């Protein structure tokens, strides 16, 4: 059966220049390089400059993705920016990126699913493309979490970083089989009962402030390992695939221990896992496209290979997607 597929035809990323090491953080809060590395696998993170809001970080990733695709911005008719750190409450960061790219046609909007944002945005763009509502989409994950961190809270400020990644999806006719290139399956979930485990304690509609990130790390860790395995098993059941069939596993990069535990549960060998958390920290919605761009650029991910992505974040939200590159 002939169907429309969303094929990845470009991928790019951007990391702010400034690198903050664990040693530098240990000068600010009561922590050590040893604790951070042992509990999270993080060695360093990038932090955006004052004149680099999320739209600027996201724009640079979008430009890199378009260049990689060999496409002109005018060909894009849908932009979705997954972010929990928009420049402003409104207008959407996506419309700022749209304008900066010189695009005046189509639609651009933000999507808020925190660390799962890229998976949710990819699923949304894929459904637009499959339904004939868009022909070429930019899906961007862009964050400046450094701006919502309480830099005196050692339990959270050591975990996160800034950055952005983007993919260009293009509608192509497929055969409707797993041999098709493009997004083959998506699965997204949420459960708002867990709001208080991971949230920001401010907002335009409540405190009229931006607020700071708060997290019960241990609880989030426990749910992450359970939910991530569940969503991937759903994607495996929907496609009849298993861990052995996956060429590259590109998980959300929150904690090396969560990544390893999830790969083990799913039967995916560690040398098939793309890891960036050591150098990027947790960049929320940007973490997956940043990792995809790195593995695409260095030649690990090759056209035709099967790529599995998954993420879990505040809400709780979680999800996974299978892409034939």
The residues annotated as belonging to the active site are 115, 252, 282
**Residue 85 CB contacts under 8 Å (≥ 6 apart), including other chains:** 54, 143, 144, 145, 147, 148, 284
Residue with the shortest CB distance to ligand UT7: 217
Judged by CB under 6 A, the residue of 37, 39, 201, 261 near ligand UT7 is: 39
Residue 163 or 313: the one with the smaller Cβ distance to ligand UT7 is 313
Sign of CA dihedral 100, 106, 110, 116: negative
- Copy the structure tokens of residue 61: 């990733």
User: Of 28, 61, 10, 55, which Cα lies nearest the Cα of 280?
Assistant: 61
- Copy the structure tokens of residue 139: 């899906």
Judged by CB under 6 A, the residue of 120, 221, 248, 325 near ligand UT7 is: 221
Residue count of the chain, please give it.
325
- Judged by CB under 6 A, the stretch of 213-221, 241-249, 270-278, 302-310 that binds ligand UT7 is 213-221
Cβ 312 to ligand UT7, closest distance in Å?
6
Cβ 72 to ligand UT7, closest distance in Å?
35
Q: Does 258 bind ligand UT7 (CB under 6 A)?
A: yes
Q: Does 18 bind ligand UT7 (CB under 6 A)?
A: no
Show the 3-state SS of 187-225. EEEECHHHHHHEEECCCCCCCCCCCCEEECHHHHHHHHH
Residue 64 dihedral angles phi and psi, to the nearest 5°: -65, -40
Q: Does 195 bind ligand UT7 (CB under 6 A)?
A: no
Q: Does 214 bind ligand UT7 (CB under 6 A)?
A: no
By CB under 6 A, the residues from 64 to 103 that bind ligand UT7 are: none
Contact positions vs ligand UT7 (CB under 6 A): 31, 35, 39-40, 115, 154-155, 158, 217-218, 220-221, 224, 254-255, 258, 282, 312-313
């Amino acid at each position: 059966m002939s169907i429309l597929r969303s094929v990845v035809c470009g991928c790019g990323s951007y990391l702010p220049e400034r690198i903050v090491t664990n040693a530098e953080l240990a000068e600010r809060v009561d922590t050590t390089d040893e604790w951070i590395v042992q509990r999270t696998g993080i060695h360093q993170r990038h932090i955006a400059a004052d004149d680099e809001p999320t739209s600027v970080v996201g724009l640079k990733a979008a430009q890199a993705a378009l260049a990689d695709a060999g496409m002109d911005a005018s060909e894009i008719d849908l932009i979705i920016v997954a972010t929990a750190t928009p420049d402003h409450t409104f207008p959407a960061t996506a419309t700022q990126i749209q304008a900066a790219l010189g695009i005046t046609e189509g639609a651009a909007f933000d999507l808020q699913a925190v660390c799962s944002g890229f998976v949710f945005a990819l699923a949304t763009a894929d459904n637009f493309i499959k339904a004939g509502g868009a022909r070429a989409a930019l899906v961007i994950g862009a964050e400046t979490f450094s701006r919502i961190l309480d830099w005196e809270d050692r339990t959270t400020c050591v975990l996160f970083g800034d950055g952005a990644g983007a993919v260009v999806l293009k509608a192509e006719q497929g055969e409707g089989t797993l041999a098709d290139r493009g997004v083959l399956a998506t699965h997204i979930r949420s459960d708002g009962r867990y709001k208080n485990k991971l949230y920001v304690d401010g907002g335009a509609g409540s405190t009229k402030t931006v607020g700071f990130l708060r997290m019960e790390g241990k609880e989030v860790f426990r749910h992450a390992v359970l939910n991530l395995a569940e969503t991937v098993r759903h994607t495996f059941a929907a496609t009849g695939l298993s861990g052995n069939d996956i060429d590259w596993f590109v998980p959300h990069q929150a904690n090396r221990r969560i990544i390893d535990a999830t790969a083990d549960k799913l039967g995916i060998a560690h040398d098939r896992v793309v890891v960036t958390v050591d150098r990027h920290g947790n960049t929320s919605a940007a973490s997956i496209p940043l990792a995809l761009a790195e593995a695409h650029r260095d030649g690990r991910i090759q056209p035709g290979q099967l790529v599995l992505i998954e993420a879990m974040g505040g809400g709780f939200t979680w999800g996974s997607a299978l892409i034939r590159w």
